[in-house]
């Protein structure tokens, strides 16, 4: 079935309180997708972010980002007051997230909401009955929730330090020390549990509304977890750790023409032999949890399942690492056995080896075709005439500059090539971007995903992430009232012409 969708992170939604969230703007965007004939909304990872604010370095592979909790919903539930929220300084630039002010402003508001929630549960029988699913939520998500909330509470009590720098009795998960922490930090633990409950409740409303409008959610699953995460702390058996629970290997990329010392990412490496002995149960739980969030999962760094680069812990560069074999189809067979049909998209970008291509073929997952990568050579893997139906075509991804800026930045030879290939001219950037989008729509790829910035012909000011850079990433937001009826009609016309209107 041919369909199309839009790539647009939740944090980039417009809204009142500093960051895109599950407010009315999320529902309006779903209305926009429906009216535009789009069957998919692709988002970025929704885990709780830490230092650097990257959604690919979350504190948990199972939890949700509390920044996405709608304050308006908490006001409606009488857990907050409008004047409280309006008095907070979230920054004066509505096109950019100020994460410093967001942390200083949102966390106290969420803590105030938790205090009122807890008090009402104890004093108001009717309210407690209406929220009896709070205890059911905690029971259902016990596998990860208890450890995550304890992790966050201990982290807060230790000034935000990485768990690797905690006192040994807590770092090594001494039973008596954890029991003591649970008692002393009971209120803080319940606060983090309340955040996850609110996140879940609000996201479920967004997802249900999307289903009503025949819009499916594509989520994004980071291949690795963050070193400073509840996962690495509470499940060391999943990762390459020594007897002192210190990492032995970390992730990265080998040296190449672009980086003579390689890339040192620092994520913990999976102990695939240990995972295999337990039928990959942690991965089964992780994927199962993500299907609670999403209709379809895009797996980041799919090549890592074929082979991955492991670097000795505490190395200063990535030069001394080694390339090791990943679990391959053994993992996906185990997942299919437990979970049935896997609705996944493989992020297979980068250096394609015969082993990578075989794994993609054996898995049956569609890979990605990014048009911005297509015009560096006449026989590029990403050129439209080389696409196959079982694939997803993009103009660009969250890691690319918007197509207008890309067109301005490429060299003259590439610019001439792309103009000839898609039959357009270089003298009108706006026309070029829409012709470029049209090229994606006419691909034989079953699914076509376009970043929202391309439809709006935005430039580099709307870039979401620049790999390798630490500043100005994950901050772009759409201004209110930019999604017009004219834009709806223009997008829908493309979907109709190229047979991508979703079936009811």
What domains can be seen in the chain, in order of their start residue?
Answer: 3-366+446-497 (3.20.20.80)
Confidence of residue 448 (pLDDT cuts 50, 70, 90): very high
154 has pLDDT over 80? yes
Q: Which two tokens stand for residue 328?
A: 């391959």
pLDDT score recorded for residue 346: 98
pLDDT score recorded for residue 316: 93
260 has pLDDT over 90? no
**What is the arithmetic mean of pLDDT over 256-282?**
92
259 has pLDDT over 90? no
Three-class HEC string of 214-249: CCEEEEEECCCCCCCCHHHHHCHHHECECCCCCECE
- Alpha carbon distance 193, 134 (integer Å): 9
Percent of the chain with pLDDT over 90: 92
470 has pLDDT over 80? no
504 has pLDDT over 90? no
**What is the arithmetic mean of pLDDT over 144-162?**
98
pLDDT score recorded for residue 50: 87
Residue among 319, 304, 312, 310 nearest 252 (CA): 310
Residues tagged active-site: 300, 347, 399
Confidence of residue 351 (pLDDT cuts 50, 70, 90): confident
What mean pLDDT is reported for the chain? Answer: 96
- Alpha carbon distance 358, 305 (integer Å): 12
Residue among 327, 326, 364 nearest 345 (CA): 364
313 has pLDDT over 90? yes
**Alpha carbon separation from 153 to 111, 156, 158, 170, 480 (Å, rounded):** 13, 5, 9, 12, 36
pLDDT score recorded for residue 126: 86
- Alpha carbon distance 251, 313 (integer Å): 9
- Tell me the pTM: 0.96
26 has pLDDT over 80? yes
β-pair type (307-312, 322-325): antiparallel
**What is the arithmetic mean of pLDDT over 127-131?**
84
**Alpha carbon separation from 387 to 297, 305, 372, 398, 446 (Å, rounded):** 21, 23, 14, 21, 10
**Whether 267 contacts 250, CB under 8 Å:** yes
Percent of the chain with pLDDT over 70: 100
pLDDT score recorded for residue 124: 87
**What is the arithmetic mean of pLDDT over 83-109?**
96
Confidence of residue 127 (pLDDT cuts 50, 70, 90): confident
């Amino acid at each position: 079935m041919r369909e199309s969708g839009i790539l647009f992170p939740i944090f980039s939604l417009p809204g009142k309180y500093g960051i895109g969230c599950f407010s009315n703007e999320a529902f309006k965007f779903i209305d926009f997708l429906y009216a535009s004939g789009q069957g998919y909304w692709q988002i970025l990872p929704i885990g709780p972010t830490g230092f650097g604010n990257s959604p690919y370095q979350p504190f948990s592979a199972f939890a949700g980002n509390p920044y996405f909790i709608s304050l308006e919903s908490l006001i409606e539930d009488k857990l907050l007051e409008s004047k409280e929220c309006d008095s907070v300084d979230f920054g004066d630039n509505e096109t950019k997230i100020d994460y410093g002010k967001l942390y200083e402003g949102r966390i106290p508001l969420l803590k105030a909401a938790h205090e009122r929630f807890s008090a009402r549960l104890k004093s108001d029988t009717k309210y407690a009955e209406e929220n009896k699913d709070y205890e059911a939520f905690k029971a259902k998500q016990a596998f990860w929730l208890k450890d995550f909330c304890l992790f966050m509470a201990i982290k807060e009590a230790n000034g935000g330090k990485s768990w690797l720098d905690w006192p040994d009795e807590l770092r090594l998960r001494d039973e008596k020390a954890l029991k003591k922490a649970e008692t002393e930090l009971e209120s803080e633990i319940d606060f983090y549990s309340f955040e996850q409950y609110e996140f879940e409740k609000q996201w479920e409303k967004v997802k249900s509304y999307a289903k009503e409008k025949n819009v499916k959610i594509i989520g994004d699953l980071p291949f690795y977890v963050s070193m400073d995460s509840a996962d690495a702390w509470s499940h060391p058996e999943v990762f390459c750790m020594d007897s002192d629970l210190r990492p032995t290997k970390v992730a990265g990329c080998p040296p190449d023409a672009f980086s003579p010392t390689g890339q040192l990412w620092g994520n913990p490496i999976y102990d695939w032999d240990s995972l295999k002995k337990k039928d990959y149960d942690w991965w089964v739980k992780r994927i199962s949890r993500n299907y609670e969030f999403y209709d379809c999962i895009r797996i980041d760094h799919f090549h890592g399942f074929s082979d991955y680069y492991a670097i000795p812990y505490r190395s200063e560069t990535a030069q001394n690492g080694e390339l090791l074999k990943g679990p391959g189809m053994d993992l996906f067979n185990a997942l299919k056995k437990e979970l049935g049909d896997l609705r996944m998209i493989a992020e297979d970008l980068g250096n394609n080896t015969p082993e990578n291509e075989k794994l993609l073929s054996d898995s049956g997952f569609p890979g990605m075709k990014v048009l911005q990568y297509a015009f560096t050579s006449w026989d590029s893997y990403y050129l439209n005439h080389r696409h196959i139906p079982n694939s997803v075509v993009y103009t660009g991804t969250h890691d690319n500059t918007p197509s207008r800026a890309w067109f301005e930045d490429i060299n003259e030879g590439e610019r001439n090539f792309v103009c000839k290939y898609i039959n357009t001219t270089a003298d009108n950037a706006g026309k070029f971007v829409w012709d470029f989008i049209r090229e994606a729509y006419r691909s034989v790829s079953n699914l076509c995903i376009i970043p929202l910035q391309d439809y709006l012909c935005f430039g580099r000011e709307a870039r979401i992430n620049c790999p390798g850079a630490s500043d100005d990433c994950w901050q772009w937001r759409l201004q209110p009232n930019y999604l017009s009826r004219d834009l709806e009609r223009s997008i829908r016309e493309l979907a109709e012409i190229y047979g991508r209107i979703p079936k009811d």
